[in-house]
């Protein structure tokens, strides 16, 4: 069946779908986390770089100020000892600043290179311009010092500070560019996240669509299979009921045929035989009498046999006289055959019971009585049929061996149940080993409008 193949295929498809979805989601999450961490590190790096350069630059700048101030103090100092102290301080500062400049050179970014090398040049020039000044005597310093400070030191200092500001500005630009870069990275992450989200959603929707369709298809399939099974079961039930009905009709017609045709003909044979023998003249008759008698016996036996067979197939009383006379006949027959005491008590049982009910009750009682007499070794059987407004209650009780109804359930019981269920009734069996058996049938009477439907 193709349906089954499709059903088997959906497992790998569903597995792949759900697996893919999970992998995609995990990848998207991991990727986003990694990108964010990267961006964050980058951002921190940029900040740190900026701060480090800024600090270094500020130190250089303050040292430039300090150098200006120290040169001025040196120039204006009349005492040679103190001037020598300033000079030493300046030399220390020179070394210090060289170190700072060297350190900054390491942090340098491309855009800063031009102003920085200018600053370096200026600083070197500054120190070089100081070299002759250090050799000046106190008098020389007093005479030329002020002019030197005004003409050399201050412009040089201003130029250097301007260069430092230029570098700081570049630095700030650098920082802004870094921030922009980070923002750009964030935007990239966002885009990537959005793409994976859309992808996941799309795949999820596809999967949901596929699963929904599959589930609906399966549900439909299961539903139709259930309907098929239910229909098949109904058909089977109907068929078995029809079989039982057909069997009953067949039995009825064979019994009638035997009874009315074969039996009648045999009776006619008997009458004819009797007439023939009466017509034979006396001396011959005595000689033929034994032979005539044997033929007569044979025909009589056949009539009886035909009648018995017909009654066994289906007692004509059921159709001719009704349920109660048929049950009473059955009881008498069983008593006659087995010596069992079979008692039939009926109450308000209508003569107008439809054929289905008559046949059902008759056959159920027949089976129960048969079981009681053949298997249960009962001595007494009591059959009651009681009709109420809307139901027919039948009970068959025996004092036999009893049995375990839950375990032993022969074909006979199944047949009874089948007949009873078909009429919407219920069968209860109360029995246990050694306690006899009580069989209770409750048949709802729904169709009393058409009595003797098949008669």
Partner 1 sequence: MSDIRILLADDHTVMRSGLRLLLERQAGFKVVAEASDGRETVDLMESAKPDVVVLDVAMPNLNGIDAARQITQHHPAVAVVILSMHSDEGYVLRALKAGARGYLLKDAPESDLVNAVRAVHEGKAWFSPAISRMLVDDYIRQLRQHGVEDSYELLTTREREILQLLAEGKSNKDVANILKLSLYTVETHRGNMLQKLNLHGTAELILYAVRKGVIS
Question: Which residues sit at the interface with partner 1, rule CB under 8 A?
Answer: 259-260, 263-265, 267-268, 270-275, 278, 300, 303-304, 307, 316-317, 320-321, 325-326, 328-329, 332, 335-336, 341
Rounded Cα–Cα distance for residues 276 and 295 (Å):
12
Which of 352, 354, 399 has its CA nearest to residue 373?
Answer: 399
Whichever of 71 and 255 has its CB closer to partner 1, that residue is 255
Which of 382, 348, 448, 368 has its CA nearest to residue 412?
Answer: 368
Rounded Cα–Cα distance for residues 207 and 192 (Å):
22
Q: Which residue bears the tokens 């589930």?
A: 215
Whichever of 412 and 451 has its CB closer to partner 1, that residue is 451
Whichever of 58 and 264 has its CB closer to partner 1, that residue is 264
Whichever of 220 and 272 has its CB closer to partner 1, that residue is 272
405 close to 376: Cβ distance less than 8 angstroms: no
Shortest distance (Å) from residue 320 CB to partner 1 = 7
Burial of 238 (0-12, 13-18, 19+ CB in 10 A): exposed
What string of DSSP letters covers 31-73? HHHHHHHHHHHHHHHHHHHHHHHHHHHHHHHHHHHHHHHHHHH
Whichever of 56 and 330 has its CB closer to partner 1, that residue is 330
Burial of 348 (0-12, 13-18, 19+ CB in 10 A): exposed
Shortest distance (Å) from residue 298 CB to partner 1 = 13
Whichever of 234 and 272 has its CB closer to partner 1, that residue is 272
Whichever of 328 and 350 has its CB closer to partner 1, that residue is 328
Shortest distance (Å) from residue 333 CB to partner 1 = 9
Shortest distance (Å) from residue 363 CB to partner 1 = 18
What string of DSSP letters covers 384-422? EEEE-SSEEEEEEEE-S----TTT---HHHHHHHHHHHH
Shortest distance (Å) from residue 273 CB to partner 1 = 8
Shortest distance (Å) from residue 323 CB to partner 1 = 11
Q: Which residue bears the tokens 């996240």?
A: 193
Whichever of 264 and 374 has its CB closer to partner 1, that residue is 264
Shortest distance (Å) from residue 321 CB to partner 1 = 5
Which of 97, 99, 153 has its CA nearest to residue 126?
Answer: 153
Shortest distance (Å) from residue 451 CB to partner 1 = 17
């Amino acid at each position: 069946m193709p349906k089954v193949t499709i059903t088997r295929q959906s497992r790998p498809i569903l597995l792949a779908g759900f697996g893919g979805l999970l992998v995609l989601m995990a990848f998207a999450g991991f990727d986003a986390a990694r990108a964010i961490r990267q961006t964050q590190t980058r951002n921190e790096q940029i900040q740190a770089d900026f701060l480090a350069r800024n600090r270094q630059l500020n130190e250089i700048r303050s040292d430039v100020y300090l150098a200006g101030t120290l040169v001025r103090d040196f120039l204006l100092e009349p005492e040679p000892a103190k001037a020598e102290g300033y000079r030493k301080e300046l030399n220390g500062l020179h070394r210090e600043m060289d170190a700072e400049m060297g350190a900054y050179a390491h942090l340098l970014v491309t855009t800063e290179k031009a102003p920085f090398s200018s600053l370096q040049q200026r600083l070197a020039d500054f120190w070089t311009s100081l070299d002759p000044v250090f050799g000046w005597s106190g008098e020389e310093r007093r005479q030329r010092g002020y002019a030197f400070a005004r003409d050399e030191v201050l412009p040089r200092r201003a130029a250097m500070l301007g260069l430092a500001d230029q570098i700081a500005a570049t630095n700030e630009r650098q920082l802004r560019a870094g921030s922009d870069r980070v923002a750009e990275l964030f935007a990239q992450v966002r885009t990537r996240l959005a793409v994976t989200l859309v992808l996941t959603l799309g795949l999820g929707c596809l999967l949901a669509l596929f699963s929904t369709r599959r589930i609906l298809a399966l549900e439909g399939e299961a539903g139709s299979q259930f309907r098929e099974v239910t229909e098949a079961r109904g058909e089977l039930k109907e068929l078995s009921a029809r079989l039982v009905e057909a069997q009953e009709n067949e039995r009825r017609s064979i019994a009638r045929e035997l009874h009315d045709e074969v039996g009648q003909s045999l009776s006619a044979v008997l009458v004819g035989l009797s007439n023939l023998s009466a017509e034979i003249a006396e001396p011959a008759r005595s000689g033929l009498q034994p032979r005539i008698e044997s033929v007569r016996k044979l025909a009589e036996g056949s009539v009886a046999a035909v009648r018995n067979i017909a009654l066994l197939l289906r007692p004509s009383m059921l159709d001719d006289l009704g349920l109660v006379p048929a049950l009473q006949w059955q009881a008498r027959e069983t008593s006659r055959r087995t010596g069992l005491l079979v008692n039939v008590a009926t109450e308000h049982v209508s003569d107008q019971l439809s054929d289905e009910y008559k046949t059902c009750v008759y056959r159920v009682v027949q089976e129960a009585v048969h079981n009681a007499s053949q298997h249960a070794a009962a001595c007494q059987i009591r059959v009651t049929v009681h009709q109420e407004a809307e139901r027919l209650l039948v009970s068959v009780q025996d004092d036999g061996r009893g049995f375990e109804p839950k375990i032993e359930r022969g074909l006979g019981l199944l047949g009874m149940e089948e007949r009873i269920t078909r009429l919407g009734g219920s069968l209860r069996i109360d029995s246990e080993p050694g306690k006899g058996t009580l069989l209770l049938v409750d048949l709802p009477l729904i169709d009393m409008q058409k009595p003797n439907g098949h008669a």
